[in-house]
Structure 1
Amino acid sequence: MAIEYGELGELKEGSYVVIDNEPCRVVEVSRAKTGKHGSAKVHITAIGLFTKSRKTLTGPADQRVEIPIIDKKVAQVVAVLGDKVQLMDLENYETFEVDMPDDESIRSKITPGAEVEYWSVLGRRFIYRVR
C-alpha cells in the first residue's frame, strides 16, 4: 500500500488522509487551542474518495496519520460495459475495468476512444475526469 505518514496538525482543506482504511479528501479543519494539559486538538471532516461518505477524525495536532499516495494516470476508454468501464493505460497499455462514475457530468462524456484521467489509490482505481 502506498502510504506516507504525517501529523494531524499539518492537514489542510483539500489535502488527503486515510480514515478507517478509506482514502478521503479533507473538506474542513478546525483547531482548538492548547489547553493547560497538552497539545492543541484538531478536528477534521473528510469525504471518502470511493464511498463518498462523510468521515471525521479528532485528535492531538501531533498525532500521526496515514496520507495516501495518489497515482494520477491517463487511460483511453476501450468499452462501456453497463456500470463498468474498460480502460487501457496509455503508458503501459494495461487494460482493466473500473466502476462507472456517479457524477453525471463525467458519465455523459465517457465513450469508447475518450481519454480519461484515473487515480490509483491504495490499490483501487477510479475515473477522476474526462480530458
Structure 2
Amino acid sequence: MSVTRGSAGDLRKGSYVILDDEPCEVLEVSKSKPGKHGSAKVRVEARGIFDGARRSKIFPADALVEIPIVDKKTAQVINVYGNVVQLMDLETYETFELPLPEDPELASRLKSGIEVEYWESMGKRKIVRTRGGV
C-alpha cells in the first residue's frame, strides 16, 4: 500500500489523508485547545477521492495519521465502449480499463486519441480531466 505517516496537526486544506480506509482530500481543518491541561484537537473534514463521500474525524494534534501517496499520471484513450474507457499509460505503455467518469461533461469529451490525467492511489484509479486544451 502506498502510504506514509504524518502528524494530524500538519494537515492542511488540499492535502490528503486516509479516513475509513479511503484516500481523501482535506477540505477543512480546524484546531482547538479544550482547556488549560487538555491536549489540542484537530477536526478534519475531507472528501473521498474515489467515492466522493464526505468524512469528518477528530484527532489529537500530535496523533499520527496515514497519508496516501497519490500518483498523478497521463494516459491516452484507446477506446470508449459502453460505460468503460480503455486507456494506455504514456510512461509504461500499460493498458487498462476504467469506468466512465460520473461527470457528464468529462465523459462526453473522452474520445480515442485524447490524453487524460488519471490519479492512482492504494490500488485504485480515477480519470480526473482531459489534457491538451480539449
TM (normalized to structure 2)?
Answer: 0.93
Paired residue type of 2:80 = V
CA–CA distance in 2 between the matches of 1:103 and 1:7?
Answer: 34
Shift of 1:100: 1.1
- Structure 1 outlier segments of 4+, above 3 Å: none
Q: Secondary structure at the match of 1:113?
A: coil
Match status 1:26 vs 2:26? yes
Shift of 1:34: 5.0
Counterpart residue number, 1:37 = 37
- What are the superposed Cα offsets for residues 62-116 of structure 1, whole Å, 9 maximum, x if unpaired? 1110000011111000111222211001111100011211122321211111000
Counterpart residue number, 1:49 = 49
CA–CA distance in 2 between the matches of 1:51 and 1:17?
Answer: 14
CA–CA distance in 2 between the matches of 1:18 and 1:103?
Answer: 24
Counterpart residue number, 2:83 = 83
Q: Secondary structure at the match of 1:18?
A: strand
Shift of 1:3: 0.2
CA–CA distance in 2 between the matches of 1:100 and 1:73?
Answer: 17
Which of 96-105 and 42-51 deviates more?
96-105
How many residues were matched structurally?
131
Q: Secondary structure at the match of 1:108?
A: helix
TM (normalized to structure 1)?
Answer: 0.95
- What are the superposed Cα offsets for residues 9-49 of structure 1, whole Å, 9 maximum, x if unpaired? 10011110000110000111111125223321110110001
Q: Secondary structure at the match of 2:105?
A: helix
Counterpart residue number, 2:61 = 61
Root-mean-square deviation over aligned CA pairs: 1.1
Unaligned runs of 5+ in 2: none
Counterpart residue number, 1:9 = 9
Match status 1:122 vs 2:129? no
